[in-house]
A and B are shown apart, each in its own frame.
Chain A
């Protein structure tokens, strides 16, 4: 087990290098270099300072000659390893690392709640659907989950704003839920926990619905597979009450693949949150990446993409390990 984890960790390194190289080249192809963009933002910066910044960033050699892209990349990587992630262009006085740390807590709250809500809803529905296969309940929720999987996240988000914000606002003169942001700025109750929850309601609901659908299906098919297994028939044959057969024998085994699927979908939550956060103007890492890419904030965009890639790879690894932990039949080699 120990060597397995170490080896998987070592395998992560080439993947991260590949991703960073890919994004670095793409970002550099997208326009002028990051130092040039600084002067567009602040005309008072002197050309000499820009040159010094370019040398510091490793874009040109100390005598002012442009370096080939690959050495630019190596210099950038060197700075990254040394802890110099570069300064943000659109968030003043923030390093790229600082910008991520600024927005990460918001994202974690949003995703944590969405994850919790979708599991609480999806798992019981999936279980009940499987136990009553081909019943009206099963058909209804199988069809509904199919619909949920086809729902474009941003449309769902927009419609929820219309239904819970725009229409109540036009009809009653006040919205049921806010359309964006994290707190009611300038109000005495701003930053109270209920104010934050009130602002989280719609984004959490939208994010949860998009994941609920898939998980209901997974839970259902996972339990259906187990219910047909021989040992479940044996458990019934030896006279165990049905509740014990389901709870002790079927359900526990059906939850094993769910653990993996849940772990693997966490990086996807970050990705899906990008759209949800953008629609609701919710200041999380997803919207930050979008703003950084649009605003050509190289340092932040690169740092954010590497951060997301790291999360993706780490959770892939965690899923593999958890799979072996919860299911002793799996031998990791």
Chain B
């Protein structure tokens, strides 16, 4: 009895999420990424509206007397070809970029997990059909199709999200199917079936919850990918349309005037740096989460 008590004292009960947090905290780059992401969300979604409320300057406020201004105390990152404050535009653009990234990643993971769990659990011809479809979708040349899709529908916020969902779920479906295949013959699933749980309950609570590690990591990494995708399409003029700023179309605008005599290189550096830093941070977070949620995945790439 006394021995058992000591053992309990020596090993205080850690919940799974407790351990995840302990491991995550040790991952320096992931912590850096988390802080940067939180900072970006704060300055873009809170800082920008507050600044607009105080100064009356928003992303479309022009000042043609003050075009191509050098970075100064008043305009930290200078002004662009229409005398718009670049920092304010970057912050408002960040709202759009982060929103597209998050919404599309979440929706794609929902769709992908659904397909993956159904394919993996039901198996048979359903699995065969769904996986063949996934293979076909994966073999499509996605960037050319992005272009055509963005042209066929009016380019904009929801079109972008639709495109990233349509081409973003396949990897998730495969990952979740893989996890489900490895879990579905385990005792706890058998037990659930034995007590009469419906297939939907088994899929929804038992299998999906146990795929959470894979799902969370994949979503985090997808956010970064979507943000780059949004920026690339907006840069090509097929994404977010002006005057609504996004990191992509701010860069497109800056690149258009790149060789203008008074144009400064910072007009291209700053928006891209925000973009790069945000994407990098989401990727660091994803890497840290992979190590923290499931240490076995560490070198699985």
Contacts and interface: CB of A to CB of B under 8 A. Distances in A.
A30 B238 CA distance: 13
B246 to A, nearest CB: 12
Contacts of A274: 143-144, 147
Contacts of A279: 255
Interface in A300-314: 301, 304-305, 308-309, 311-313
A312 B139 contact: yes
B301 A146 contact: no
Nearest to B269: A159
A143 interface: yes
A155 B147 CA distance: 19
A318 interface: no
A225 interface: yes
B148 A305 contact: yes
Contact of B231 (A23, A152, A159, A271): A152
Interface in B259-290: 259, 265, 268-269, 272, 275-276, 279-280, 283-284, 287
A286 to B, nearest CB: 8
Interface string A1-42: 000000000000011001100110011011000000000000
A150 B141 contact: no
A158 B262 CA distance: 17
Contacts of B21: none
A29 B140 CA distance: 20
B275 A152 contact: yes
B173 to A, nearest CB: 18
Nearest to A293: B147
B301 A218 contact: yes
Nearest to B29: A143
B129 interface: no
A293 B147 CA distance: 7
A55 B151 CA distance: 26
B276 A150 contact: yes
Interface string A266-279: 01001110110011
A162 B143 CA distance: 26
Given A147-B280, A154-B232, A305 B272 contact: no
B15 interface: no
A17 B301 CA distance: 34
B270 to A, nearest CB: 11
A204 interface: no
Contact of B148 (A151, A152, A179, A301): A301
Contacts of B231: 152, 154-155
A161 B256 CA distance: 13
A130 B145 CA distance: 37
Contact of B144 (A153, A217, A218, A271): A271
A224 interface: yes
A214 to B, nearest CB: 10
Interface string A56-94: 000000000000000000000000000000000000000
A161 B145 contact: no
A58 B237 CA distance: 32
B136 interface: yes
B143 A161 contact: no
Contacts of B148: 23, 26-27, 30, 293, 301, 305
Given A158-B258, A305-B141, A312-B141, A146 B275 contact: no
B140 A30 contact: no
Interface string A142-177: 010011011111110011011000110000000000
A267 B141 contact: yes
Contacts of B276: 147, 150-152, 155
A271 B141 contact: yes
8 contacts: A19-B140, A26-B149, A146-B29, A162-B269, A274-B143, A293-B147, A311-B141, A316-B139
Of all A-B residue pairs in the complex, the 6 with the closest CB atoms, nearest first, are A155-B272, A271-B143, A150-B280, A26-B152, A308-B141, A150-B279
